[in-house]
């Protein structure tokens, strides 16, 4: 199995965000400079009918400069903290590598505007498999797309967090992404992987929308879904899909 991460693309996007942040911050300083100049050097006298509009524009320039600079700082922080890899996805890759050959490409840590963030995808003759990976621990119950967590004294709490909904959204995004690039009818599946084994994590399921597994269960846990048919894509098509997703 070819295990890859789009490091160059991620680095390029990080640089682009950093450049954008610098430009935004410079724009903020320009607005602030203009505002200070307008406040210091009164270009319109108080007796002028447009004086109130002038003072309003001065205030807008000054307040806008602070807001724009703040946005630029947020962009800079985003650029400098851009996630370059996903250790959890890499751990799952190690489990897959035990039984998959070079016909398969495992791409981890996808982060593209057209896709959003996806932990990992596996591309091969069976199609595309989208991973939602978590290291959360606890006793969970999954029915359909809804999740509950067992609290103290056996009480259950409904969770607003649903890896099922997240995974389904990722599946839809991958399908739309490929269709927009002229690659239609590619089968896309999903799986939720908890990286902590029992007793750290226990998941009870009832009619799950997306399979829920641990890394060591992937080979047989997907036998009836993703791995149920291993000739859905020819190798050329699989390589093309992997290249598009890799970016």
How does pLDDT run across 80-101, given as a tens digit for each residue?
A: 776 767 889 999 999 999 899 9
Q: Tens digit of pLDDT for each residue in 191-214?
A: 999 998 667 789 999 999 999 999
Residue 54 shares a structural domain with residue 17: yes
Domain that holds residue 164: 85-246
Q: For residue 229, give the nearest of 129, 127, 131, 128 by alpha carbon.
A: 127
Q: Tens digit of pLDDT for each residue in 34-73?
A: 989 988 888 887 878 888 888 899 899 999 999 999 999 9
The per-residue pLDDT for 13 is 67
Residue 75 shares a structural domain with residue 93: no
Which of 80, 103, 118 is the last residue in one of the domains?
Answer: 80
Whether residue 235 lies inside any domain: the answer is: yes
Whether residue 2 lies inside any domain: the answer is: no
The per-residue pLDDT for 82 is 62
Residue 74 shares a structural domain with residue 91: no
Residue 48 shares a structural domain with residue 119: no
pTM of the entire structure? 0.75
């Amino acid at each position: 199995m070819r295990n890859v991460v789009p490091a160059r693309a991620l680095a390029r996007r990080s640089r682009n965000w950093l450049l954008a942040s610098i430009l935004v911050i410079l724009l903020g300083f320009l607005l602030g400079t203009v505002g200070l100049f307008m406040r210091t050097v009164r270009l319109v006298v108080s007796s002028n009918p447009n004086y109130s509009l002038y003072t309003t524009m001065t205030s807008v320039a000054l307040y806008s400069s602070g807001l724009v600079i703040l946005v630029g700082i947020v962009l800079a922080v985003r650029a400098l903290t851009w996630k370059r890899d996903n250790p959890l996805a890499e751990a799952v890759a190690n489990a897959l590598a035990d039984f998959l050959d070079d016909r398969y490409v495992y791409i981890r840590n996808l982060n593209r505007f057209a896709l959003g963030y996806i932990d990992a995808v596996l591309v091969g003759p069976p199609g595309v498999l989208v991973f939602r990976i978590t290291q959360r621990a606890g006793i969970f119950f999954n029915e359909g797309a809804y999740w509950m967590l067992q609290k103290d004294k056996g009480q259950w709490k409904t969770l607003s967090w649903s890896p099922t909904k997240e995974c389904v959204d990722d599946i839809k995004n991958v399908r739309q992404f490929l269709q927009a690039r002229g690659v239609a009818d590619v089968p896309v599946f999903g799986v939720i992987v908890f990286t902590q084994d029992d007793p750290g994590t226990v998941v009870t399921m009832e009619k799950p929308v997306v399979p829920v597994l641990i890394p060591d269960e992937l080979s047989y846990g997907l036998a009836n879904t993703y791995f149920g048919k291993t000739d859905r894509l020819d190798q050329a098509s699989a390589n093309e899909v992997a290249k598009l997703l890799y970016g």
